[in-house]
Structure 1
């Protein structure tokens, strides 16, 4: 049982670290610090992998049933579940913020292309800019 409790406590530690990391990611996204966002994404993936691996180890543990019968373990498992739910919500919000930042970057990039005196600019079906130098002058009938 001591080994199982150690795994559950390790899982709690990783979930807590992930939540803290997501808070740092939120700040980095708001401040648009791309190097930090990238570094945090790598750390986030490492923590998620650790959580998954530990979860598998807990699932294979011979005393796994005690997670639902031992009050102390039940409390730890509930804390982990709450942390993971909060992590999922925060990660979703961070993803939405990243999408907004990327859209903002594309709009700024398009404005800069326009201001550089491009002859013609159209948009692809995906909303990306497409510079066209002929803009209808080389029509072959």
Structure 2
């Protein structure tokens, strides 16, 4: 038995609410720098987005899709869905920007760490010229 257009809209609405909540969780994981949680949430987010796309396809190809324009109750439901989609897009954009900033911050910290490590391995030869010695103290044969 196929689902009614009303059932499909309700299902899509519920799935979008789940996506909205997941995006809030993702935001928290980004703020708290929980990389394992961010990865898990990204996979869950992708699954929900795929589910929403499938539901959208079912709605678009439904025999009674004209009711989405003719029935005022369904028109209102579609508008609610569009508002949730818009909010999800905004949240996803904000989360993406936050992840990019976190990644940039990580790369800067990593570069500073690499530079610091390089300075610890620097020494001077008998002429006073700076040299990076990676084997400092490791080739001693006593």
- When normalised by structure 1's length, the TM-score is 0.81
**Equivalent-residue separation in structure 2 for 1:72 and 1:51 (angstroms):** 21
Give 1:126's aligned residue.
none
**Equivalent-residue separation in structure 2 for 1:57 and 1:101 (angstroms):** 38
Q: What is the SS of the residue equivalent to 1:18?
A: helix
**Equivalent-residue separation in structure 2 for 1:79 and 1:39 (angstroms):** 28
Residues 35-74 of structure 1: pairs in structure 2 closer than 5 A: 35-74=36-75
Say which one has the larger Rg: 2
Shift of 1:117: 1.9
Superposition RMSD on alpha carbons, in Å? 1.7
Give 1:9's aligned residue.
10
Give 1:136's aligned residue.
none
CA deviations 1:79-100 (Å, max 9, x no partner) are: 1000000000110000000000
Shift of 1:12: 0.2
- When normalised by structure 2's length, the TM-score is 0.81
CA deviations 1:20-62 (Å, max 9, x no partner) are: 1000000100110000000000010011001000000000001
**Equivalent-residue separation in structure 1 for 2:68 and 2:33 (angstroms):** 42
Residue segments in structure 1 that go unaligned for 5+ positions in a row: 121-132, 134-141
CA deviations 1:101-131 (Å, max 9, x no partner) are: 00000000001101112679xxxxxxxxxxx
Shift of 1:74: 1.1
**Equivalent-residue separation in structure 1 for 2:82 and 2:10 (angstroms):** 13
**Equivalent-residue separation in structure 2 for 1:74 and 1:18 (angstroms):** 22
Residue segments in structure 2 that go unaligned for 5+ positions in a row: 123-131, 133-142
Give 1:82's aligned residue.
83
Give 1:28's aligned residue.
29
